[in-house]
A and B are shown apart, each in its own frame.
Chain A
Amino acid sequence: MPNLTIEARELVKRYGSTLAVDRLSFTVEAGRVTGFVGPNGAGKSTTMRMMLALDRPDGGEALIGGRPYTSYREPARTVGALLDPEAVHPGRRACDHLLWMAQYNGIPRKRVDEVLQIVGLESVGRKRVGGFSLGMRQRLGIAGALLGDPGILILDEPVNGLDPEGIQWIRGFLKQLAAEGRTVLVSSHLMSELQDTADHLIILGRGRLLADTTVKELLDQTSGDQIEVRTTERSRTIDALSLAGATVAVTGPETVTVTGLTTERVVSLLSAASIPFTGIGQHRASLEDVYMAMTREHTTFAAAPEDERALA
């Protein structure tokens, strides 16, 4: 059984006075999809570039399958990576782009047609990449990562630019790859993209490791017994419940979240005060909430319009 782990050991990367990655250590295991999340500028891409020997770390080391990436003479059979879907020559045909990558690793030409088929680009294989949409380029990049049928996959924001159908496809595809026993590391700056896909999460903020945990653990540890109340009279609700010793947080124009009281107690208090409410129930924190809370203080950049586009 070959070693299929990805390991970061005390990785450090500086750009001038900015510490982009700060003594980052983690291990990515085989057989599951590991989400690599953090806001823009958290150091995800830099870390991935260091793993793949594109950038030189200022400290520490990254091992892939127990070895530095530079020790692989023909890495495609072990590691497949997609870092930047735009990093292709626009004047080259998709099949030629994949062909030279294959030739570098001694992979037969027919594999090019196979991977084009896998990612659904077989009909445009002979077209020049310059005319491709971002989504098509993502698929081409994934095709490139799959060329050598590698046991380890490293994908930086692969969902970016994909249409809803493409997003569905890649989620299923990543799960399938992990189920086959491969190591799959997928980065995203949006937790929602990974919520249904990732089994394990590595969360970064400002170059530091914030969490290295399973999705289930993360949800359990952060959502306490909270009760969500829907009401048109928000301020009266807050007053009434606060008086009874509860912590109340506003979570929407007509919703508040209550901590420290049972559901029965909330119902009786509201009834006694004649405050109308349209709904009451147990509140479960979404992964997104947890992530937002965790990274709020670690955000380097304010949300850019791109984020919304990616969400849509």
Chain B
Amino acid sequence: MTGEPGVLRLTGRALLAEFTKLRSVRSSGLALLTLVALTMLLSLVAASLSTTTANDAKISVDQFHFVHQPLTGDGTVTAQVGAQRGTDPWAKAGLMFKDGTASGSAYAAIMVTPGHGVLLQADATTEVARPSATGPRWLRLTRTGQSVTGYESADGTTWNTVGTVTTAARPGTGQAGLFVASPPKLRMIGEIPNYEPVLGEATFKNVSLTPAGGGTAAGTWADTEVAPPPDGPETALGEGAPSAPVLAGGSTRKADGTVTVSGSGDIGRAGMGGINLTDVDRVKAGLTGIQFGLIGAIAIGALFMTAEFKTRGIRTTFLARPGRATVLTAKSIVLGTVVFVTGLAVTVPAYLITKPLQDDNGYRAPIYPESSITDPVVLRAIVGASLFLALIALFSLAVGTIVRRTAGAVIVLLAVLVIVPTIAGGTSDTAYAFIGRATPLAGISILQTVELTPVSDAVVTDAWSGFAVLCGYTVAALAAAFWLLKRRDA
């Protein structure tokens, strides 16, 4: 007798055989059709019916400590931000032209943050980011009419242009100077979100204010706490925005010209400067249909094994290949691949079709950030949704192997993965949160593309840790399936 084929060829043959099995029965096609149809249909329904007016509120934040003096006409302000306390990755210290000192008035500003580099902003509508420019920075802001150009430098000698922005601030009058802010911290008191103000601090050196004609500005520096009136119009910390009391800042000036400024608050608006009001993940919402599309994954996964036990075809299989582990391995690979590819065939179109629907229904930038299929995080969500379906199919295959009966396996799987979560979702937040953390459904976390506001109850786990829970369940169930399949009589 000649030598027997190696492991790779044996597995290859098993893959081919199991693929023939899967494609040659109608139930596989029906299950995949269910997966595609339910995923697409429910994603479309959700995207069509869900609307929001969050963007219409034009929420902006304009609260900080301002050290300023009047500037008539055009001019340039320059300073070296020597040290900034790391109170928050989005704490801000920088230079500003502002149309007065009232919160909500027009402005142009360049600033440095501890965690996200340099930002150039105008009027809470425009932002140019330079995330790579980290660490102590020289900043410069030059005004020519309503056009403002920002520069940054590491040493005060070589300057890089960050960009040019247009502000509504009137030329001719206004204030110029230094500002510091640090966003409030969220602390949950029970279920109630509570924002506690944080005092940021930065030290400025080599401060200069040069009017366009040359020379030095003649004014004196003044301190102002720029903050919205306690119950004023919603120009600043408005509807749904993190609202915190003002924490008085101040400034101290040393003989060598060093100015230390402290202040609380933030500037920008949702989607700018790290201000996040997102309560819905657009990409995840656009693929929400997989929560019911997984019924198809359950069906094909469970039946791929239970049909063999029901017809006793499992004996024919083990006659053809006594290596039972190879059989289950081949089934897993074939099933996982088929469901994953079918998943992609529905998740990619579902994303592309629901996106314009969401735009029409108010889910758009700035509160709901623009997304693109080429964005790695979006791609992770789309591919992840298909992986999720594939893993649910594998989990179902394992449960089918353990339970052996179609009815038993499908009932258990539908109860755990569909029925109980649907009921819990409509009745108990605690139960729903548990399901999202500790059951195989936690894997849906892989669809998350944005960080939601901390108060949003939609956040359950971060993208990978929930997915890891599903992987854990699948591996454990498959391990039990392998063990039982090898042990039990066929």
Task: Give A contacts to B, CB under 8 Å.
Answer: 2, 49, 52-56, 69-70, 72-76, 81, 83-84, 86-93, 96-97, 99-101, 103-106, 144
- Among A2, A87, A103, A104, the residue within 8 A (CB) of B311 is A87
Between B14, B315, B322, the greatest number of chain A beta carbons within 10 A of the residue's beta carbon is seen for B322
| Cα(A133)–Cα(B350), bound, Å | 46
- CB-CB under 8 A for A106 and B13, given A73-B4, A91-B25, A101-B320: yes
- Counting CB contacts under 8 A, is B17 at the interface? yes
Q: Which 9 A-B pairs have the closest CB atoms?
A: A96-B24, A103-B17, A87-B312, A104-B320, A100-B20, A104-B17, A100-B17, A55-B489, A54-B490
> Is there an interface contact between B17 and A53, defined as CB atoms closer than 8 Å?
no
Task: Report B-chain residues with C-beta under 8 Å of the C-beta of A83.
Answer: 315, 319
From A77, which residue of chain B is reached at the shortest CB distance? Answer: B1
> Is there an interface contact between A144 and B489, defined as CB atoms closer than 8 Å?
no
Task: Report B-chain residues with C-beta under 8 Å of the C-beta of A92.
Answer: 21, 24-25
| Cα(A73)–Cα(B489), bound, Å | 19
| Cα(A89)–Cα(B28), bound, Å | 13
> Is there an interface contact between A86 and B316, defined as CB atoms closer than 8 Å?
no
- Closest-CB distance, B300 to chain A (whole angstroms): 14
> Is there an interface contact between B9 and A106, defined as CB atoms closer than 8 Å?
yes
**Interface flags, B415-429, vs A, CB<8A=1, else 0:** 000000000000000
Task: Report B-chain residues with C-beta under 8 Å of the C-beta of A103.
Answer: 13, 16-17, 20
Task: Report A-chain residues with C-beta under 8 Å of the C-beta of B312.
Answer: 84, 86-87
Task: Report A-chain residues with C-beta under 8 Å of the C-beta of B316.
Answer: 84, 87-88, 101, 144
- CB-CB under 8 A for A53 and B322, given A74-B4, A89-B313: yes
Task: Report A-chain residues with C-beta under 8 Å of the C-beta of B489.
Answer: 49, 54-56
CB contact list, B466-490 vs A, under 8 A: 487, 489-490
Interface CB pairs A-B, < 8 A, 23: A2-B1, A52-B322, A70-B322, A72-B322, A73-B4, A73-B5, A74-B10, A74-B13, A74-B321, A81-B319, A88-B311, A89-B25, A89-B307, A89-B308, A89-B313, A96-B24, A97-B24, A99-B24, A100-B17, A101-B320, A103-B13, A105-B13, A106-B9
> Is there an interface contact between A106 and B20, defined as CB atoms closer than 8 Å?
no
- Closest-CB distance, A93 to chain B (whole angstroms): 6
- Among B14, B20, B26, B315, the residue within 8 A (CB) of A87 is B315
Between A54, A93, A99, the greatest number of chain B beta carbons within 10 A of the residue's beta carbon is seen for A54
**Interface flags, B353-391, vs A, CB<8A=1, else 0:** 000000000000000000000000000000000000000
Between A53, A89, A101, the greatest number of chain B beta carbons within 10 A of the residue's beta carbon is seen for A89
Task: Report B-chain residues with C-beta under 8 Å of the C-beta of A89.
Answer: 21, 25, 307-308, 311, 313
- CB-CB under 8 A for A69 and B307, given A54-B490, A101-B17: no
From B308, which residue of chain A is reached at the shortest CB distance? Answer: A89
| Cα(A92)–Cα(B316), bound, Å | 14
Between B4, B14, B314, B321, the greatest number of chain A beta carbons within 10 A of the residue's beta carbon is seen for B321
- Counting CB contacts under 8 A, is B465 at the interface? no
- Beyond the given pairs A84-B315, A88-B316, A99-B24, 4 more chain A to chain B contacts, judged by CB atoms under 8 angstroms and listed by A's residue number, are A70-B323, A92-B24, A100-B18, A106-B5
From B27, which residue of chain A is reached at the shortest CB distance? Answer: A91
- Closest-CB distance, B269 to chain A (whole angstroms): 59
Task: Report B-chain residues with C-beta under 8 Å of the C-beta of A2.
Answer: 1
CB contact list, B59-79 vs A, under 8 A: none
| Cα(A56)–Cα(B315), bound, Å | 13
From A72, which residue of chain B is reached at the shortest CB distance? Answer: B322
| Cα(A89)–Cα(B319), bound, Å | 15
The number of chain B residues with a CB under 8 A from chain A is: 34
| Cα(A97)–Cα(B20), bound, Å | 8
Task: Report B-chain residues with C-beta under 8 Å of the C-beta of A93.
Answer: 24
> Is there an interface contact between B25 and A54, defined as CB atoms closer than 8 Å?
no
| Cα(A70)–Cα(B318), bound, Å | 9
From A91, which residue of chain B is reached at the shortest CB distance? Answer: B25
From B489, which residue of chain A is reached at the shortest CB distance? Answer: A55
Task: Report A-chain residues with C-beta under 8 Å of the C-beta of B487.
Answer: 56
- Closest-CB distance, A73 to chain B (whole angstroms): 5
| Cα(A55)–Cα(B322), bound, Å | 11
From B18, which residue of chain A is reached at the shortest CB distance? Answer: A100
| Cα(A75)–Cα(B315), bound, Å | 14
Task: Report B-chain residues with C-beta under 8 Å of the C-beta of A56.
Answer: 487, 489
| Cα(A100)–Cα(B307), bound, Å | 15
- Closest-CB distance, B307 to chain A (whole angstroms): 6
- Among B1, B4, B20, B319, the residue within 8 A (CB) of A96 is B20
CB contact list, B17-72 vs A, under 8 A: 17-18, 20-21, 24-27
- CB-CB under 8 A for A54 and B318, given A73-B323, A103-B17, A103-B20: yes
From B307, which residue of chain A is reached at the shortest CB distance? Answer: A89
Task: Report A-chain residues with C-beta under 8 Å of the C-beta of B318.
Answer: 52-54
From A75, which residue of chain B is reached at the shortest CB distance? Answer: B322
| Cα(A310)–Cα(B323), bound, Å | 35
| Cα(A52)–Cα(B71), bound, Å | 96
> Is there an interface contact between B18 and A75, defined as CB atoms closer than 8 Å?
no
- CB-CB under 8 A for A54 and B315, given A73-B4, A75-B322: yes
| Cα(A53)–Cα(B317), bound, Å | 12
> Is there an interface contact between A104 and B321, defined as CB atoms closer than 8 Å?
yes
- CB-CB under 8 A for A69 and B322, given A93-B24, A101-B316: yes
| Cα(A97)–Cα(B487), bound, Å | 26
- Closest-CB distance, A147 to chain B (whole angstroms): 9
From B327, which residue of chain A is reached at the shortest CB distance? Answer: A104
Task: Report A-chain residues with C-beta under 8 Å of the C-beta of B321.
Answer: 73-75, 104-105
Task: Report A-chain residues with C-beta under 8 Å of the C-beta of B10.
Answer: 73-74
Task: Report B-chain residues with C-beta under 8 Å of the C-beta of A91.
Answer: 25-27
From A81, which residue of chain B is reached at the shortest CB distance? Answer: B319
From A96, which residue of chain B is reached at the shortest CB distance? Answer: B24
Task: Report B-chain residues with C-beta under 8 Å of the C-beta of A100.
Answer: 17-18, 20-21, 24, 320
- Among B4, B27, B315, B320, the residue within 8 A (CB) of A76 is B320
| Cα(A88)–Cα(B311), bound, Å | 6
> Is there an interface contact between B313 and A104, defined as CB atoms closer than 8 Å?
no
- Closest-CB distance, B375 to chain A (whole angstroms): 41
- Closest-CB distance, A140 to chain B (whole angstroms): 10
| Cα(A303)–Cα(B487), bound, Å | 34
| Cα(A101)–Cα(B322), bound, Å | 12
- Closest-CB distance, B6 to chain A (whole angstroms): 10
